[in-house]
């Protein structure tokens, strides 16, 4: 006996009624934003590291990669605004340097914030975002 498989689209509103609303929590939205950001900057650091290895091996892909870096940088500026983007670009540039492991950002209050990881950068940018209106 063959079982027939029907592809039915499940609609939660049909099951629970039209007055039913689902809202994502602020905590979930913030978690997704943090994961997106950390994945983005971690990927960019990894790409830069691979490029450095290729350059040492004698393969120069700069003319190939530059347009992509310009696009990514433009999207970062569009999404995060000029102040946060400058901090992100500085962080990425410093990560390329051999001594770029102990990075700090000095706040307007004189306090120094450690920026050694993508999560620390994300947290610092959130603090910066509260100080500026973009």
pLDDT tens sequence for the chain (134 residues): 455 555 556 666 667 767 677 788 999 999 999 999 999 999 999 988 888 888 889 998 888 888 999 999 999 999 999 999 999 999 998 887 776 567 888 877 788 888 889 999 999 898 888 777 64
pLDDT of residue 128: 83
So what's the pLDDT on residue 5? 55
The string of pLDDT tens digits covering residues 81-96 is: 999 999 999 999 888 7
Domain segments of the chain as ranges: 27-131
pLDDT in tens, 15-36: 776 767 778 899 999 999 999 9
Angle in degrees, CA 15, 18, 22, rounded to 5: 80
pLDDT of residue 100: 56
The predicted structure's pLDDT at residue 81: 93
Phi, psi of 30 (to 5 degrees): -65, -40
């Amino acid at each position: 006996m063959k079982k027939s498989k029907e592809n039915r689209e499940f609609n939660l509103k049909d099951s629970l009624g039209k007055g039913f609303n689902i809202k994502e929590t602020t905590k979930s939205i913030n978690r997704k934003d943090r994961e997106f950001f950390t994945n983005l900057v971690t990927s960019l650091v990894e790409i830069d590291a691979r490029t450095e290895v290729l350059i040492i091996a004698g393969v120069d892909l700069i003319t190939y990669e530059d347009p992509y870096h310009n696009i990514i940088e433009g999207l970062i500026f569009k999404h995060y605004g000029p102040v946060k983007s400058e901090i992100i670009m500085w962080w990425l540039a410093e990560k390329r340097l051999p001594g770029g492991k102990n990075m700090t950002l000095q706040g307007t209050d004189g306090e120094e914030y450690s920026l050694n990881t993508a999560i620390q950068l994300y947290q610092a940018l959130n603090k910066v975002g509260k100080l500026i209106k973009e």
